[in-house]
Amino acid sequence: MKEIILGAGCFWGTQAFFDKIKGVEKTDVGYANGLLDEVTYEEVCKGNTEFIEVCKITFDENIISLEKILEKFFKIIDPTLVNQQGNDFGTQYQSAIFFHQSDEQSFKNIINNFIEKMQINYKNKIETKVDYLKNYISAEEYHQKYLEKNPYGYCHINLDLADD
């Protein structure tokens, strides 16, 4: 199993989206690459912690490749935006791709090549942040599988795109 950590704005929708994809074994929503050892949703929303809302995705490389996950990811984000996805604005909504340092050699090349290939589809520069995972804090329990618990909860992500 491998892990990739993706920020696509609304982490509720990101989790619900990737939970629908064959080969994704587990998801967890949380906060990545911020300044603190502990943080709450309310603190992240204030915009001064540098945390990004993310979904940690554990996947089986024998079933789905990292490149295929990135293809799915780019269906649900506008990678040219800074600190915004859909109607969500703030530093916590920056699109991002984080990976473990142990995967840096292979993942970084795949990610950079993918972004370079995708750039031709966009007039503006792709601004998706790419970095190794410095820290990750799992979000509060009420955020986990939020859209399963609250099927009419707001999210800008079109979950039907997971089937494409």
pLDDT tens for residues 105-154? 899 999 999 999 999 999 999 999 999 999 999 999 999 999 999 988 88
Say what the pTM is.
Answer: 0.96
Residue 156, pLDDT score: 87
pLDDT at residue 77 is higher than 90: yes
Residue 48 DSSP symbol: -
Q: Which amino acids are annotated catalytic? A: 10
CATH assignment of 2-163?
A: 3.30.1060.10
| Helices 11-19 and 66-75, packing angle to 10 deg | 130
SS3 call for 84: strand
Question: What is d(CA 139, CA 144) in angstroms, rounded to the nearest whole number?
Answer: 7
Rg (CA), the chain: 15
Quote the tokens at residue 10. Answer: 């609304």
- Residue 26: other Cβ atoms inside 10 A: 12
Q: Check: CB of residue 32 under 8 Å from CB of residue 51.
A: yes
